[in-house]
Amino acid sequence: MKNNKWIKPVVIGIVLAVMAGMLVWAGVSAGGQADALVGTFWSLFPPVVAICLALITKEVYSSLFVGILVGGLLSTGFNPVHTVDAFVNDGFISAVSGSSGIFIFLVLLGVIVALLNKAGGSQAFGAWAAKHVKTKIGASIATFCFGVLIFIDDYFNCLTVGAVMRPVTDKVKISRSKLAYLIDATAAPVCMIAPISSWAAAVSSYAPEGQGLSLFIQAIPYNFYSLLTFVFIITITLMKFDYGPMRLHEKNAEAGDLFTSGMVHADSEEDAPATGKAKIIDLILPILVLIGVCVLSLFYVGRCMGAEWVFASANYDPSLGFVDAFSNTDATVGLPWGGLIALLFCIIYFVARRLVTFKEAMDCIPKGFIAMVPAILILTMATTLKNMTGLLASDVFVENALANVSGLNNFLPAIIFLVACCIAFATGTSWGTFGILIPIVLSIFPVGSELGIMSMSACLAGAVCGDHCSPISDTTIMSSAGAKCDHLNHVSTQFPYALTCAGVSFVAYILAGFVQNVFISLPIAMVMMVATLFIIKLLQKSTDRKLA
């Protein structure tokens, strides 16, 4: 083994040399012209650089920064003055202004979580769960079910499920990496198959007027990746086994090390002894209020969209139904309002219950903000990187690439799934991915055709899959934040699981392209998923016996 220590540095050196050489090649190809590389395969090079550097250096911030810088250079033809302008204005400033609503919501959720911990609600729930949920299977299934129930928004899902389930999974010795996977696997996938969610509203906006939600609902049964992810979680939990890097993390958790490596997050508030006054209702009621208020806020904003001032009564359109309002809503506006109202309720409720003083409640505000700073920083830089790929017109490159394979109609769902996976993985955004691909799919197939619905679903499934795998995805980042898990640990342990589901989904889309009947293809896909896991377990046992 000692003789092989040189392999890793050599591989890293080769990768860095190749990236540097490609950058020089890009500079020569650009020839000083700003638009020379726009709409070409170079549009996906910046996120590739960021991802490769993150995997090599195990450091996210500098990797994203270099990726953004490369994007700025490529989009401006290596003009230094224009690069700085693109880097600052089109990159960071645009990212912060476009995501400000989500940042506010994250901070509000952080404050609510800090309040719940200070008041003792989390400890009370943890004590109750310790009596009733005593096994890893029970805790995993409970986390899965809780994640499925919070289908309104993926950010909301990640942070809420993480805050509630951390004490439970810690007590039964489930690693933080496994918790982060369970959160991530029930965030974007469940939002992508829930007709009433911020994701459904986003998808509907890209379809022909009045047909968006109908097409979304028709596409749900063909969303193999999301559905097979649920099958995967239940099967691997009941079979009591893990594989890949996750196996080591779970083994270490059994020995008392929940983190294995990387940054260990301090849970001082959670570890503090409960006062004895708090009850389970002190956790459940604020969460129910948060969910209820967020739903109503999204509904109200949907009835007021297009207005300069959302809550002006003159802009309210009562004729919009619940589904239409959700199709018209904006999560970056509705969720912050819901979070603010829920926060005010929590402060009044906990102070009235004498679980915290008013001063202690105010002290939770900076604590909640500080807890969200790493996630906000990574999210800002990931969004900036996405803006760089936008400047390079990655959508034009993808559209031209798909046009060259439009003759292989029966294989198109599988091809679209792969393309969506690659784009979402490289850019870290599922919304941006289906925003690029849905108009292309609808232009290739007649609206409502079986192959068209299947291809649209493949686009959505691939977007979720790539988002699930990508280290620069906002949902992946939020899952790490919700579980208080080292981000790169979450990425490395989750990747083999997501890749397994992706492989089975790809085969299922090939089958579905020829069968074109969901009642045949979906059950076969589920059987393939379970069979694949049985085979992996048998191979793992065989390997263990040989090593023994």
Residues 80-123: tens digit of each pLDDT:
777 788 878 887 888 777 667 777 877 887 788 788 878 887 77
In a domain, 364, yes or no: yes
Q: Is residue 194 part of a domain?
A: yes
Q: What angle do CA 272, 275, 276 make, to 5 degrees?
A: 130
Pick the closest to residue 377 from 52, 49, 99, 44 (CA basis). 99
435, part of any domain:
no
Please report the sign of the dihedral spanned by the C-alpha atoms of residue 199, residue 204, residue 205, residue 207: positive
pTM for the full predicted model: 0.69
Q: How many domains does the chain have?
A: 1
Is residue 6 situated within a structural domain? no
Residue 186: give the domain boundaries. Answer: 99-209+269-377
Residue 451 has pLDDT above 90, yes or no: no
pLDDT value of residue 213: 62
Is 163 a member of any domain? yes
- pLDDT tens readout for residues 474-533: 788 888 888 888 888 999 999 999 999 999 999 999 999 889 888 999 999 999 999 999
pLDDT for the residue 225: 95
DSSP character at residue 259: S
- Please tell me the number of Cα atoms within 13 Å of 37 on its side-chain side: 32
Mean pLDDT of the chain: 80
CB 445 within 8 A of CB 455: yes
Tokens of 116: 């719940």
Q: Which of 253, 187, 190 is nearest to 489 (CA)?
A: 253
Task: Give the residue among 132, 111, 23 at the shortest CA–CA distance from 74.
Answer: 23
Q: Name residue 163's amino acid.
A: A
Q: Residue 302: inside a domain, yes or no?
A: yes
- Which residue is associated with the tokens 């490769």? 52
Query: 344: left (phi > 0), else alpha (psi -120 to 50), else beta?
Result: alpha
Which residue from 298, 287, 412, 278 is spatially nearest to 346, judged by alpha carbons? 287
Q: At 65, which amino acid appears?
A: F
Task: Tell me, yes or no, whether 412 lies in a domain.
Answer: no
User: Which is nearest to 385 in space by CA: 87, 8, 32, 143?
Assistant: 87
Residue 199 in domain: yes
